[in-house]
Amino acid sequence: MDRSATFGTWKRYKLGQAQFTKWLKQTSDRIKGATSAGEPQKPPNSASNHGTAQLEAMVKIVVDKANPKDIPPSSIRILRDVVSLRKKSARFFGKVASRSEDDKLKKSNSSHEHMIKVLEKALVQLEAAGSKVTGKTSQPDSDGQVSMDDINNMFEFLKVEETQNAEDVQSEESEPEKHTKSSSKKKFGKSKGKKQKQKQKPKKEPKTQLTEPMSVDSNWVDEFKWMDDDGDDDEFDYYMLIYCFFEDFNSIRDYVVDKWCDYYFYQSVPIEVLGVITNAACEIFHEMESELFKTARALNLPARMVEYQFMMNTLFIQYGLNHVDYSNDKIMSEEDLQQKIHREADWLGFMTYTRLENILTNVPPGKVPMYPAGTLEPPVYGILDADGVAEFTNTIIFEMLPDFCLLKALKVNRQAPSVIGAQDEVTLDFEGALRARSYPSAMVLGLQLYVDIRYVLEGDTVKVFDQMQDTARQNEAALTRVYEHVQPSRLKREMWGRIAEMNCVMLEDFMEQDKIRRWKERGITDEKVEKHSLLKRHPIWSGLLSLRCRLVSNDLGHRIVSSSTAVLAAAFAYEAARLVARDFLPSWPSMDGFIKYYGQDCVLLQGNLSGNMSAADLLKRFAEYDLTNTKIASLVGFDKPSKTQAAFYERYGVDTERSRQDMRYLQDIIKEKYSVNATILPPHLSNKPLAVINHNERDATEKTAEVAKSGTLDTSLKTAERFFEPQRVSPIRLLEVLGGATIDILDNQLSVNYLQLYEESIVLLEAISEKFPEITENCGLPQVEDSTYVDKLGKVLVGLATSMGHNPHDGQAEQLVDGIKEFLVGLSDSDTPNLQISSEYETQY
């Protein structure tokens, strides 16, 4: 993505500090009436741009003279968060400064501590003022962090002043921006000294007018730059920058591991959800690292200072970790001290890092280490000491090493695509490290997360693999049965490819033959090759493959159903029988799910099944709309999947050559989660049956929605959309939304089994045609071998509607119920309908 995909701790700290100071400055100036004198306002970017005395004065003005209702609660939450984060760095650097002989460092630390005292005092005063409204002092949230809501809503009670001459104001506002671009960047550890004075334009004195509170565009977040802030805080900024990087990593790590614990202990989270959020966490690690390098360039830091080894040495060896108490180290026992050091190392992913270094040192480029699984000691689970955890990490990584190397070799030799379907970030990063002989920090973090998951699941990684295979086996069988009934087309060729992929990757081991060959070359003949050794130990990839299988089958099934008339005809026949039999007709699960998802009004063309409606009336509607010759795809509501499903399909269902994919797919998922992109149906179409709305009118509907998004119909919509962009959401919230969206499509869109529904609909329509042989004969159905046979089965319902209209009391409705009841009873006795597959296809397959 062009910008950071998440709203991390470091960004939260800097944006919060800047936004609070802007609010404080503008509010105090408005109270003093400074803006009414025409003085141009240039809000500061941080507290350090003003002396502490000025800051205290501004707080006093706001507390003494502002209406308590005009102090937004978000300002208090942001200030509390800023104080907390400043205290973290101060506790650590106070110790560093006390041991240092650098007078500049001591002075900088003293200034930093004084600023914290000033901010703490301001917090107390603002909390007291706020309590006058609420009656109680504001308390911190459970997680102690502000959200993007707080930062964007800082101006919610601020009266914004507007001038009559917009051009003058615009030119004045451009001055700080020019200054930011022209000012030289500071080098790490050196203060720049006093800033040069800016040449000021002659003051203009436009008339000003106080207006009502305005909604402020939050676009400032994207262009905001904090690199000229805190002139003497370079050392503090660097430490907090890399510390926050690992703090965010551990927050994500804890969240993901907790979800895997829920699966292990309670089976309460689907493996598809676990695969998605874990892979997204690894994607976020890459985005975090990209943002880290971007910030380092802006701070004029050498790139090596934000590489893993340098950061690890800084935090683990040179300075220590902010949350660790080192005061009792000298009196601790050797064992306790080792455990403490191990916890620090684990927080940084140090164990994984050392194993990676070992692998790249000892595995020559282009070589594939092959050793039987029996030569490795099995991993030991349970409560482990420091040495046990180190050994466990070593075992897990070396257990996976041969398969990772072999996978890379297959791709190099063009025996496998560069990115296999739904391949996870951990595997791709490992391949990249073996190829480039180096690795990013994100890979260390992702591999550490994988080791954590293996520790949680113990031997149950095979269960995840078995669940994936069950899903693949069912969907492969359904695609195989339906394949013969699909007319030769691009869709049929794609079905063939998907069937082959499910067999090759999910049901068979595509690495087995090459592994056997390599073992023979090394003289290993007495060991049996373990099939699926990679996927059995890789629950992340197994979860993603299960999701890919369901997405692909659902997409193909939806396209098959949409290009046919059979399912819609079966739906009308089923509902007609239910009108006659009422509650005495057995249920049809796949059709019930289809009608529930799309809605009865949509499936039955906005027809309300009132109490006086007969089966003949419903079948007459089917005939009047000529649905025998109408594909479902041409009806509104059936032709497009949800944006969330489309985003997931684009990410995990489509083949790609790119080993690193961006996270743009999250944009649509987040927007749809908060119902920002609702489609607007124009009034002239609102009362029209869905079947009658053609594609031209539907295009006009979509254009109407686009106009709304552009601001003509709803000027606030674009702001709302911007608010829910991924870079404005915290990493944990992002994973929560992603997990919820995955559960939602599993329970809704992907719960509709189109392939099974298509099979069963054909069988049902054939049963009805056999029940009414005279009507079927008069309809002139084509031969079974004819490619139009399936779509023409609905003609029997048209003939039946005509016959029932002429002779409403001859028992044909009861015959229809009997035929459908026999079908449903037979359906419950067998898992799948009896569809014949030609011998030609069996031979070809």
- From the list 794, 765, 787, 757, the residue with the least C-alpha distance to 492 is 787
The burial of 491, by beta-carbon neighbours within 10 Å (0-12 exposed, 13-18 middle, 19 or more buried), is given as: middle
Q: pLDDT (tens digit, 9 = 90+) per residue, 427-461?
A: 999 999 999 999 999 999 999 999 999 999 998 99
Q: Does the pLDDT at position 409 exceed 60?
A: yes
- Looking at residue 612, its pLDDT comes to 74
Work out the percent of the chain whose per-residue pLDDT is above 90: 38
- Phi and psi (nearest 5°) for 283? -65, -40
CA distance 14 to 9: 9
Which range among 93-107, 321-335, 497-511 shows the weakest confidence by mean pLDDT? Answer: 93-107
For residue 136, what pLDDT is reported?
Answer: 55
pLDDT at 162 over 60: no
Are 564 and 791 in contact by the 8 Å Cβ rule? The answer is yes
Provide the whole-model pTM.
0.79
Q: In which band, very low, low, confident or very high, does the pLDDT at 469 lie, cut at 50, 70 and 90?
A: very high
Q: Which pLDDT band holds residue 57 (cuts at 50, 70, 90)?
A: confident
* pLDDT reading at 700 higher than 50: no
Q: pLDDT at position 219, please?
A: 42
How far CA 731 is from CA of 74, 277, 427, in Å, comes to 20, 11, 22
Q: Please list, in sequence order, all residues whose beta carbon lies within 8 angstroms of the beta carbon of residue 828, skipping any fewer than 6 positions away.
A: 586
Confidence (pLDDT) at 65: 81
Helix, coil or strand: residue 208? strand
The residue with greater pLDDT, 660 or 718, is 660
Answer for the pair 7, 13: CB distance below 8 angstroms, yes or no: no
Contact 229, 78 (CB under 8 A): no
Q: Residue 346's pLDDT is what? A: 94
**1-10, 206-215, 359-368, 715-724: least confidently modelled range:** 206-215
Per-residue pLDDT at 752? 92
Most confident of 214-223, 578-587, 598-607, 697-706: 578-587
Distance CA(738)–CA(734), nearest Å, equals 6
Per cent of the chain over pLDDT 70 is: 73
Tokens of 160: 């914004």
pLDDT at 820: 93
Helix, strand, coil % in the chain, rounded to nearest 5? 65, 0, 30
Residues whose CB falls within 8 Å of the CB of residue 50, separated by 6 or more in sequence, listed in order: 21, 25, 44, 58
**429 to each of 24, 304, 751, how far by Cα in Å?**
46, 20, 33
The more confidently predicted of residues 255 and 694 is 255
Question: Taking a C-beta distance cutoff of 8 angstroms, is the pair 407, 437 a contact?
Answer: no
Contact between 685 and 704 (Cβ < 8 Å): no
Structure tokens at 663: 């996270």
Tokens matching residue 489: 């087309």
Q: How many residues does the chain have?
A: 845
| CA-closest candidate to residue 214, choices 173, 153, 166, 148 | 153
Whether residue 697 is predicted with pLDDT greater than 80 in this model: the reply is no
Task: Please report which helix (H) or strand (E) contains residue 571, including its range.
Answer: helix 566-581
- Per mean pLDDT, which range of 121-125, 340-344, 763-767, 794-798 is the poorest? 121-125
Whether the CB-CB separation of 594 and 752 falls below 8 Å is answered with yes
Amino acid at 528: K
d(CA 369, CA 360): 12
Tens-place pLDDT, residues 591-625: 999 988 888 878 876 655 666 788 888 899 888 88
Residues 705-716 have a mean pLDDT of: 45
What is the mean predicted confidence (pLDDT) over 16-39? 72
pLDDT value, residue 109: 74
Task: List the one residue out of 466, 454, 464, 460 whose CA is nearest residue 400.
Answer: 454
CB 214 within 8 A of CB 184: no
pLDDT digits (tens, 9 = 90+) for 470-526: 999 999 999 999 998 887 788 999 999 999 999 999 999 999 999 999 988 888 877
Mean pLDDT across 183-190: 36
What letter does residue 187 receive in the DSSP assignment? P
Interval 746-765: pLDDT, tens = 999 999 999 999 999 999 99
Q: What is the DSSP letter of 613?
A: -
Q: What is the pLDDT of residue 81?
A: 80
pLDDT of residue 191: 36
Q: Which residues 6+ apart lie within 8 Å of 357 measured at CB?
A: none
pLDDT in tens, 791-843: 888 899 999 998 888 877 678 999 999 999 999 998 876 655 544 433 332 33
The yes-or-no verdict on residue 5 having pLDDT over 70 is no
CA 246 to chain centre: 21
Return the pLDDT at 198: 40
pLDDT at residue 69 greater than cutoff 50: yes
Query: What local confidence, expressed as pLDDT, does residue 358 receive?
Result: 93
DSSP 635-646: STTTS---HHHH
Give the Å distances, CA to CA, from 617 to 228, 378, 410, 598, 632.
75, 69, 62, 22, 21
For the stretch 258-303, pLDDT in tens is 999 999 999 999 999 999 999 999 999 999 999 999 999 988 899 9
Average pLDDT in the chain: 77
Backbone angles phi, psi at 161, to 5 degrees: -90, 135
